[in-house]
Amino acid sequence: YEEKEKRKLIVYIAKIGNQKSAINPDDIAPIGSMLANCGCVDNLDLMIHSPGGSGVTAEKIVEMCRSYTKKEFRVIVPNMAKSAATIISLGADKIVMGYCSELGPIDAQKFINVGGITQQLSAQSFISARDNLIKELNKAKSEGKEYIGYLQQLSSSTVEPAFIEECKRELNFAIALVKKWLPQYMLKLKNPELTTEQLEQKAVTIAENISSADVRFAHGRMIGPKECEENLGLNILTLQKEDPSWNLLWEIYLRSEIFLMINSNPQQQAAK
């Protein structure tokens, strides 16, 4: 692939479903090692297949890759780049996608225990739930109705002020990263005729769209190459199924998946 494209390629493939597959600080050392092995290059490609994870680590991965790139930094999505992996993709100059590639919403997720079962819920859901409770409480008070039930619900740990504030911070962090990178890189390259203010406004619109649980509904919802390019206005290179470059990339991805499958076991699975 590198010989054909005249670009350096580093690969980050996670075994979806493995409990250790999330993007986390442990990824920094191996990614730094790959980049150091490549050295500073004109054009760098990062292939990523990931369910997401730490937004803080995602920010660092983008900055690391850019520090080794002189001209163009691209992210290649052979299958899926969700959540924090989507954030990484939006930090590139261009995203390379195929017919089965997908990004996903970047709404922050919180893990809570319900009946002994850990569930993953959107941070926006907690914020909306609290806002609705306060609205219903005030309405009940103004109408002279019983409102003790709303006060009891507002005492729950998942809607208490500190928890809600943390939910807001996590949501705002993801949005801030997208708003920082898009006008500076991807949107600027795709829309050279736009002013800085116009690029920033476009980035805000994109960030609000892909971070809204009310727009996307499900955290794992697919955002395919056509929507990324035509609806969101991202800088997308869509490779067709017959494209030799796509076939090379797909084989690298497929071999990685097979490697992780072969080398996994119930006690200690290969996560990345």
Tell me the pLDDT of the chain averaged across its residues: 88
pTM value? 0.82
User: Please, which residues bridge with residue 77 across strands?
Assistant: 97
Banded pLDDT at 269 (limits 50, 70, 90): very low
pLDDT digits (tens, 9 = 90+) for 57-113: 999 999 999 999 999 999 999 999 998 999 999 999 999 999 999 999 887 666 666
Closest CA to 272 of 82, 51, 91: 51
> What pLDDT is attached to residue 16?
84
Phi–psi pair at 223, nearest 5 degrees: -120, 95
Task: List the Cα angle 146/151/152 in 5-degree steps.
Answer: 105
Residues 6+ apart with CB under 8 A from 99: 225, 238, 240, 241
d(CA 97, CA 141): 53
d(CA 262, CA 175): 38
> What pLDDT is attached to residue 118?
59
The CB density around residue 113, as the number of other CB atoms within 10 Å, is 8
d(CA 218, CA 239): 27
Indicate the DSSP class of residue 79.
S
d(CA 43, CA 21): 27
What tokens appear for 253 in the block?
């991805």
d(CA 110, CA 241): 37
pLDDT digits (tens, 9 = 90+) for 229-268: 999 999 999 999 999 999 999 999 999 999 988 876 655 4
Average pLDDT over residues 139-156: 83
